[in-house]
Structures are given as C-alpha cells and as structure tokens.
Amino acid sequence: MSSNNTKWTNVLRILAITVIIDGRVREAELAAFVEHAQGMAPLCGENDITEQWLQNWYDKNKISIVEQMQGRGKNTTILKAFATVKDDAIREALFDAIIHIAVSDKEYHESESDLVRSAAAIWGFVRPPIKVFRPS
C-alpha cells in the first residue's frame, strides 16, 4: 500500500473529486469510491487495499482536494488530474467509476455531468445519456 505510487494516487484523487464535486458527500458515494478504488487497485499495482485504508486516505486528502476545487482552480485541478492518466485500461475503469459514483446517490448534478463530459472529451469516450437532477 505504497503512497508513492503516482498512478494510484492520481486514480484516488479523481475518484475523490467525483465524490466531492457536487458539494454533498453522501454515504452511497463514499461506498462507491471504496468499491471502485478497491477494484482498480490491481490495475495500479496495488494489492491488499482495505476499506479502512481507503477511508483514511479520503479523510486525509479531502480538505486539500476541496480547497483546490474552489473557485477558478476547479477546472485546472480536474484537467490536470485527467491528464495524468495515460493507461487506457485505467482510463476506461476510471470513466466507469466516475459515472457510477456520480449516480450512486440517485442524484446526477450538473457538476457531475460536467466532470463526466470532461473525462469523455479528454479520454475519447461517449457520454452516457443520463438526465441531470434538477431540484424542484
């Protein structure tokens, strides 16, 4: 469980950004974060990643990610994070994970839709036709 694995850290950052981006962290989103991170760990050369380790990583890094996502730095943070992922298999798994986390709380917000659109554009995927949640 090395923290100096840049590929792994980048994946975790993107998954955490997906949880954080709508401004409301829900239990379902955190559960999806853990599920997808554990599933992607072997692709990044990591083994034996526990739910507790992932929760600790998220808790330790959440504040700095939130700070980077505030204001004008948001788009740059997202674009830099996506640009760090070079491996096609990881990109594909991440794209699926981003979508799953975004809809896991049964609300697909505009900020999540924008994140999916950016990932699709940068990595060359087709955006799924998911309807954006608009509170009435």
Q: What is the pLDDT of residues 5-39, one digit of tens each?
A: 899 999 999 999 999 998 888 899 999 999 999 99
In CATH, which of 1.10.3470, 3.30.420, 3.30.1490, 1.10.3680 is domain 6-123?
A: 1.10.3680
pLDDT tens digits for range 68-119:
988 788 888 899 999 999 999 999 999 999 999 999 988 888 999 999 999 9
Structure tokens at 40: 């992607």
SS3 96: helix
pLDDT tens digits for range 107-116:
888 999 999 9
Domain range list for the chain: 6-123
Where are the alpha helices (H) located in the chain, listed in sequence order?
Answer: 6-20, 27-40, 51-69, 73-83, 88-103, 110-123
* Model pTM score: 0.91
pLDDT tens digits for range 37-48:
999 999 999 999
